[in-house]
Amino acid sequence: MLDFDIEADDLERLADELGAMPREVRASYNRALTRTAATLRKLSSKGLQSHLGLARAAAVRRRLKTLRIKRQGGMNEVRLWYGLNDLPVSEFKGRIVDDGSRGAAHLGGLGRSSFPQGFTAKSRFSRRRTILERVRASRLPVREAQLPIKERADVFVEDEIFWKLNDIFWRHFRTDLERRVNYLRAAA
């Protein structure tokens, strides 16, 4: 979860500077939260795709959820949730190598990942070459091998995304509030 706090004093200071009404501040605040969440989702999706060496951004995009929490008084809260469970090998760029009696390996952006019980095949989902592993000693069932992403994704989110959060929010909030105030002045 990615949480951040906005100081009410800063909101009031900007509202006084622009001459905004409390209703306009609430509306701009809620819209800025929504836009901030959308911007962070976009940055996270593109950034994690390249940082993790994924073939498609959809693998990450499916795992990003925006949770909107309604509160009394009109000041809502938004949380961005990252699903950082392991991803199937077929989602990553790289080469699948069959090591014969030693299993199979994936060579990609995360380095070499060996799977001693693995063998190469086509994935049911992405139709790309992947590594399957036997669940038991018998022939069936098999499952697609997975690579962990949590540690690398956590580092990326903390280093590249989290520090931009306040700047993104304040840029959206100020722009929206200025436009609301100017629109009402022009209409009056």
- Domain co-membership, 80 together with 157: yes
Does residue 167 lie in a domain region? yes
How confident is residue 75, by pLDDT bands cut at 50, 70 and 90?
Answer: confident
- Domain co-membership, 105 together with 76: no
Does residue 30 lie in a domain region? yes
How confident is residue 188, by pLDDT bands cut at 50, 70 and 90?
Answer: low
Of 2 and 182, which is predicted with more confidence? 182
Does residue 35 lie in a domain region? yes
How confident is residue 137, by pLDDT bands cut at 50, 70 and 90?
Answer: confident
pLDDT at 106 over 90: yes
The pLDDT of residue 43 is 94
- Domain co-membership, 33 together with 62: yes
pTM score, whole prediction:
0.83
Does residue 33 lie in a domain region? yes
Does residue 1 lie in a domain region? no
For 171-184, the DSSP string reads HHHHHHHHHHHHHH
Q: Specify burial of residue 37 (Cβ count, 10 A radius: 0-12, 13-18, 19+).
A: buried
Structure tokens at 80: 């961005």
Q: Which domain holds residue 177?
A: 8-84+149-187
The pLDDT of residue 6 is 75
- Domain co-membership, 98 together with 161: no
pLDDT (tens digit per residue) in 114-132:
999 899 998 877 778 899 9
pLDDT at 3 over 70: no
- Domain co-membership, 168 together with 123: no
CA nearest 153: which of 67, 30, 51? 51
Does residue 50 lie in a domain region? yes
Among 4-13, 19-28, 155-164, whose mean pLDDT is lowest?
4-13
Length of the chain in terms of residues written: 188
- Domain co-membership, 79 together with 20: yes
Cβ–Cβ under 8 Å, residues 96 and 90: no
The pLDDT of residue 79 is 83
Does residue 2 lie in a domain region? no
**Neighbour order of strands in the sheet with 95-98:** 95-98, 104-108, 111-115
Total tally of structural domains belonging to the chain: 2
How confident is residue 1, by pLDDT bands cut at 50, 70 and 90?
Answer: low
User: 115, 131, 147: which is the final residue of a domain?
Assistant: 147
